[in-house]
Structure 1
Amino acid sequence: MAQLDTLDMIVLAAILVGTLAYFTKGTYWGVTKDPYASSYAAANGSKAGKTRNIVEKMEESNKNCVVFYGSQTGTAEDYASRLAKEGKSRFGLETMVADLEDYDYENLDTFPEGHVAMFVLATYGEGEPTDNAVDFNEFITGEGPSFTNDADPPLGNLKFVAFGLGNNTYEHYNSMVRNVTAALEKLGAQRIGAAGEGDDGAGTMEEDFLAWKDPMWTELQEKMGLEEREAVYEPVFAITERENLTKDSPEVYLGEPNKMHLEGTARGPFNAHNPYIAPIAESRELFTDKARNCLHMEIDISGSNLSYQTGDHIAIWPTNSGKETDRFLNVTGLLSKRDEVISVKALDATAKVPFPTPTTYDAVVRYHMEICAPVSRQFIATLAPFAPTEAAKAEMAKLGSDKDYFHEKISNNYLNIAQALQEVGGDEKWTAIPFSAFIEGVNKVQPRYYSISSSSLVQKDKISVTAIVESIDLKDRESLKGVTTNYLLALKQCQHGDSSPDPHGLTYNITGPRNKYDGVHVPVHVRHSNFKLPSDPSKPVIMVGPGTGVAPFRAFVQERAQQMKSGQPVGRTLLFFGCRKQTEDFLYSNEWKGYKEILGDKFDLITAFSREGETKVYVQHRLQERAKEVNQLLEQKAYFYVCGDAANMAREVNTILGKIISEQRSIPEAKAEEIVKGMRSANQYQEDVWS
């Protein structure tokens, strides 16, 4: 046999290293799928390894009810947790909450009799599963999923209930819960009760959930022989105050998302569990209207290994304002203890602490709790027994049980949890509420997603963001402030020389935990989107984007101008943009002129200024005015894009497009509507919309 030379040895060593890395999934290099994993394991006193067999997991933890969730923004996860708690407290079910991506599903056919599975499934975008439900959806709705046994039907033992979270402004409303329910029943599973459907588009999600779950519990109680008992609060987490530690102790988390950030060794991959602390290279105001703010920011991702494609989203990780953090700590009687160190431990082996620990009260409230979100009626009812006075207890009970009264007092005034407690209790402090109840009942802070307003072809190392700063005046009350956009405004103010930024009366910890964000940084990650230009740049495109809905279209036009400069054939490019007045909020008004010079007659910007004439003119009116050209471009297989408000603008644009096709082609409206649906199915009609 020939002698191995040095190069051979190097090659063999490389192959060995690569093989080891593949089969260990990177564990030997200290890389885990979830950077929180080590802190969860430490908090729960469990080992890092865990089974992906849900039946085995339920057996070893003595559970008879599992609540699966498919969640994109945290709402479905919250509903799953609430169902699990209610099932245990009211009916004595041994419940667990399960992330769909944490388990395999070939063994669902071995699901024991007398057990029940619950599915809480959000529909994302155009009928798509949430990121954590993709594999489950492909498996359960696929052709002939393969199970461990040969039973017929394969899921005859599985009893389940289902609730979906959707938005009626999308064509594929609640398609996830509908498709999964149909697939499970086709496989022989027995559905208990109606599959519930919540509608975010109508703003009724919370009440839809509450209206669904009560009759569901009644049917489940009958089918499974459950006995209802008086619901008593049972904590999921134990809170221990650590007198041996201070907030300056190196092992104490002060808002860092994981151990790498705590130790200053943060590295990629940067994702929804592990943000990149990105420098803001540039920030400026886009409005000339002094009463409103609209920000343009350039976020530097060079050196992060993050990448994006034109049309993707950037996720901004917000922090709560100092004002709202103080309000929460004050009303709960924790203000004087804000810097005390606590350890949080799960009392159930299947639960996980939603943030790293040990930490402080302040860090949990400021960085990890969605304290500014609307408060739920169910959570108000949960807190009633801990009220500081009998009068407050009675009021909380009424709010929790009377839907109309709750809407009048809480929902219609947009009160968050601390404001609601202030409203009910006056100057009284709510010191009897266990902190664990807040960890369980207040959602985890979620990143906010913004359409990227730059082209990756033009600036691959910088991501542009275009965001209106939310501040809504309310009659006789504090104005409603957007959490993330006001945080971004504070960062912009800091970058422009304000040492103590205080946008709209709010304060922010600009420099982040342990001052690690010094120099104007923001935590981010990138989420890839299907909202994309056609791969062939010669294809015509029609874009409709009023207000900040123009953000991805700035990126699209920027990209097409670059393609034209590089000699590629570029198709007709129409952009319908609307705002109030061209002198106040005409976004990127000067840039469009530059793109027009490059693209020439390939590009037209059609504007609608709603407050400049006697009658209001919107983008949908301008679209109708250009009906002939719009139809001609569609007949040339133009791609049609809409970005912005889903409930009004996007729906009207969809309707008008159908009318244009009907009138221009002299066909019935019903047939034109089918053509529009066909465009959607073929990805020729794309939306990036929000409620």
Structure 2
Amino acid sequence: MAELDTLDIIVLSVILLGTLAYFTKGKYWGITKDPYAASFANANGVKAGKTRNILEKMEESGKNCIVFYGSQTGTAEDYASRLAKEGKSRFGLETMVADLEDYDYENLDALPNDKLIVFVLATYGEGEPTDNAVDFYEFITGDDVSFSESREAPLDNLNYVAFGLGNNTYEHYNSMVRNVDKALQKLGANRLGVAGEGDDGAGTMEEDFLAWKDPMWAAVAEKMGLEEREAVYEPIFGIVDREGLTKDSVEVYVGEPNKMHLEGTAKGPFNAHNPYIAPITESRELFSVKDRHCLHMEVDISGSNLTYQTGDHIAIWPTNPGEEVDRFLNVIGLADKRNDVIGVKALEPTAKVPFPTPTTYDAIVRYHMEICSPVSRQFLATLAAFAPDEATKAEMTKLGGDKDYFHEKISVHHLNIAQVLSSVSKGQTWKNIPFSALIEGVTKLQPRYYSISSSSLVQPKKISITAVVESQMIPGRGDPFRGVATNYLFALKQKQNGDPNPEPFGLTYEITGPRNKYDGIHVPVHVRHSNFKLPSDPSKPVILIGPGTGVAPFRAFVQERAKQAADGENVGRTLLFFGCRKKNEDFLYASQWEEFKKALGDKFELITAFSREGAKKVYVQHRLKERAEEVNELLQKKAYFYVCGDAANMAREVNAVLAQIIAEQRGISEAKAEEIVKNMRAANQYQEDVWS
């Protein structure tokens, strides 16, 4: 074979290089940059060059007002966003919203006095800070709080505003905002206006917030020399059509919560930002009567690094039902564009897009917006400007401005945003609403929390859920009011069991999830740790009060104590007071209590109250009173007392009855007995897991 001459070598080299270039294009060179990548990085969970220095952040972004939130379920975060938006539109403040856990606080004392700090703080459980506010709370209320500078009143330069979200059925009502306000005052900070308090227990949270904020803004304007201007809508987000992409494109989010889930590489930690897609191994109905069903589900967490302790909560990440998604998209005129791909861009550097993009209108509404919840009065006032005609605009303005009229027409009927828009416009489409206004104004769809009804000692890798599914007919509302998450679970149960006649509402859920990732059947979950715990010493007696699904954590407690007894441990007396409507209708886990009794013997007793079986209604608090002598004896032996269920009525009455029992049995005044109950709470001997 003849040797290659120089020209041959050059030609072959060019061909070789060309071939290499062809096969490596897009991998090592010639990579097409997504022109929107930087804009959407924040939405996809990418945090570039993030500082934890508050002062630095405000200076680099040109902000003079920062609204911090401590939020567990999203409501405080929503109020924080609304305050930031209003501060900018009405008074020209340069505002930003911030998660308390994203910053350090040692240099709060260095903030100039021409800045404003707003704290929107929810109280969680028994007077505890929300998960994202723990570090801040411990810092600001601690005995050894230290700042970057040393002076007698280190925060005398700090102007602040505070609003709390609480529930008056709890012992430590709004303790977060009260304690933080007290600590800030002690450190010399200047509060503008009063510290507001919203009450979820009385159902007045929204109106409490609205009543508080106007005088607060007046105080802020006076202190900071601000002039109010006519509020004009200024979008925080820009919407961009992503032509060339379809809902089937691999980079398009169709409901996945983050990039790992999109790429199929999801791993822990699984938490409120990152759910675990857990298989449901079992689902059945404990009872089914008329418009009420009770579900028992077993969720397998063995494929994750999730762990739980007896008494914890499981968070279910629901999706919205299809009929409500359709209603919403129809009324805003986007039904035909539901599968169009869009990007959402933050128009200012501190704003956070609340979901990953690029995505579709359908995915945003189905997986990320709280479209089924009752609408706020303030939001209706905002949307009035985009009404399809003058008559509709006038009605929206009246609804937004008149508390009593809004209550009569809207809130008493629990209408959601799409129902209100359709009703007020008499069926006209609201094509003028910028989609950015809906992203900003409709609360983010939040996980729902359920008391875990299994013991981690008995089944560490399987979580039990007990949930009642109800349909409530409300006067003035065309269709029943239904819980989003409970009906989602019901739909999963129907699919898993192949129910021959499933309810229509259940059929409308997209239960297979984005790209069929939930089929099989799966549900997105995470675990929230709770302080609702059995005593570490199993020989301590316990008194459990849990009517209805309030019995869920007590099934776990009794299951655990039965296991401890079977393992030879000395288990203390366990009294469970359970109430329901009828013995043969909604008596939860009736056969299982018998099994636990075999393991625990005389150490366990179930006391029942069936409210609809006799001429007179009997509730758990009545049964508690009947057992006054034994209850008092157990308390004197340092028994732990637990209550789970309805906060507004049952829990309050149980608290009052317990004080009466102590007063009567010990021959002391009710005031003294109430003090004993209060001390039990403070010592964690009296624990509650209640809801409104």
Class of the TM-score when normalised by the shorter of the 2 chains:
over 0.9
Which residue of 1 is the match for residue 451 of structure 2?
A: 451
Bigger Rg, structure 1 or 2: 2
RMSD of Structure 2 on Structure 1 (CA): 1.5
Cα distance change of structure 1 residues 482 and 570 upon mapping to structure 2, 3 Å threshold: same
**TM-score scaled by length of structure 2:** 0.93
The residue correspondences of 1:129-148 to structure 2 (distance < 5 A) are 129-148=129-148
Query: 1:113 deviation in Å?
Result: 1.9
Q: Is the partner of 1:373 in helix, strand or coil?
A: coil
Q: Aligned pair in 2 of structure 1 residues 547, 46: CA closer, same or farther (>3 Å)?
A: closer
Change (3 A) 1:47 1:614: closer
Instruction: Say which SS state the counterpart of residue 133 (structure 1) adopts.
Output: helix
Give 1:363-442 correspondences, 5 Å limit: 363-442=363-442
Q: CA deviation at 1:290?
A: 4.2
2:533 corresponds to 1:526: no
What is the distance in 2 between the residues matched to 1:45 and 1:270? 15
Match of 2:492 in 1: 491
Alignment of 1:176-255 (within 5 A): 176-255=176-255
Confirm or deny that 1:163 pairs with 2:124: no
Shift of 1:505: 6.4
Q: 1:560 — aligned with what? A: 561
Residue 41 to residue 627, structure 1, CA distance change in 2 (3 Å): same
**Alignment partner of 1:329 is 2:329:** yes
| Matches of 1:541 and 1:504, distance apart in 2 | 41
Instruction: Report how many residues are paired.
Output: 655
Measured against aligned partners, the alpha-carbon deviations of 1:10-53 in whole angstroms (never above 9, x if no partner) come to xxxxxxxxxxxxxxxxxxxxxxxxxxx99963559986221101
Per-residue CA shift, 1:527-565, capped at 9, x if unaligned?
A: 111000001110000000000000000000000000000
Q: How does 1:303-314 map to 2 (within 5 A)?
A: 303-314=303-314
* Residue matched to 2:270: 270
CA–CA distance in 1 between the matches of 2:323 and 2:302? 34
Aligned ranges 1:607-626 → 2 under 5 Å:
607-626=608-627
Aligned to 2:577: 576
CA distance in 2, matches of 1:361, 1:410: 26
Change (3 A) 1:612 1:450: same
| SS at 1:463 equivalent | strand
Partner of 2:662 in structure 1? 661
1-side partners of 2:690 and 2:197: how far apart? 20
Deviations 1:248-294 (A, max 9, x none): 11000000000010011111111111101001000000114243100
Q: Which runs of 5+ in 2 are unaligned?
A: 1-36
Give the superposition deviation at 1:380: 0.3
User: Residues 644 and 650 of structure 1 are in contact (CA less than 8 Å); yes or no, is this contact kept in structure 2?
Assistant: yes
Distance 2:559 2:196 in 1: 43
Q: CA deviation at 1:475?
A: 2.4
Q: Kindly tell me: are residues 239 and 315 of structure 1, through their superposed partners in 2, closer, same or farther at Cα, counting changes over 3 Å?
A: same
Shift of 1:589: 0.5
> Quick check: 2:367–2:445 contact (8 Å CA) kept in 1?
yes
Gap change, CA 1:64 and 1:537, over 3 Å in 2:
same
CA contact (8 A) 2:543 2:639 kept: yes
What is the rounded CA distance, in whole Å, between the counterparts of 2:47 and 2:320 in structure 1? 33
SS of 1:59's equivalent? Answer: helix
- Output one character per residue of 1:467-516: Cα deviation in whole Å (capped at 9) or x when no partner: 00031111242110100000000000000114995454661001000111
User: Is the contact made by 1:494 and 1:500 (CA closer than 8 Å) also made in structure 2?
Assistant: no
Amino acid of the structure 2 residue aligned with 1:497? G
Give the aligned partner of residue 543 of structure 1. 544
Q: Which residue of 1 aligns with 2:55?
A: 55
Q: Which letter does structure 2 place at the counterpart of 1:165?
A: L
Alpha-carbon offset, residue 243 of structure 1: 1.3
What do the CA deviations read for 1:27-84 (whole angstroms, capped 9, x no partner)? xxxxxxxxxx999635599862211011110000000011110000000000000000
CA shift for structure 1 position 598? 1.2
- Corresponding residue for 2:257? 257
Shift of residue 152 of structure 1?
A: 2.9
Cα distance 1:506–1:479, how it changes in 2: closer, same or farther (>3 A)? farther
Percent pairwise identity: 78
Alignment of 1:21-100 (within 5 A): 41-43=41-43, 48-100=48-100
How far off its partner does 1:144 sit? 3.2
| TM-score normalised by the chain length of structure 1 | 0.93
Inter-partner Cα distance in structure 2 for 1:305 and 1:44: 23
Cα offset, 1:461, TM superposition: 1.1
Separation (CA, whole Å) in 1 of partners of 2:573 and 2:380: 55
Distance 1:499 1:368 in 2: 31
Distance 1:519 1:44 in 2: 27
Contact 1:72 1:131 in 2 (8 A): yes
CA pair 44-541 structure 1, distance change in 2 beyond 3 A: closer
What is the rounded CA distance, in whole Å, between the counterparts of 1:241 and 1:39 in structure 2?
Answer: 14
Task: State the alpha-carbon separation in 2 of the partners of residues 75 and 201 from structure 1.
Answer: 14
Q: Is the 8 A contact 1:641 1:687 kept in 2?
A: yes
Given the superposition, is the C-alpha separation of residues 38 and 665 from structure 1 closer, same or farther in structure 2, using an over 3 Å criterion? farther
Change (3 A) 1:210 1:486: same
AA of the residue aligned to 1:646: A
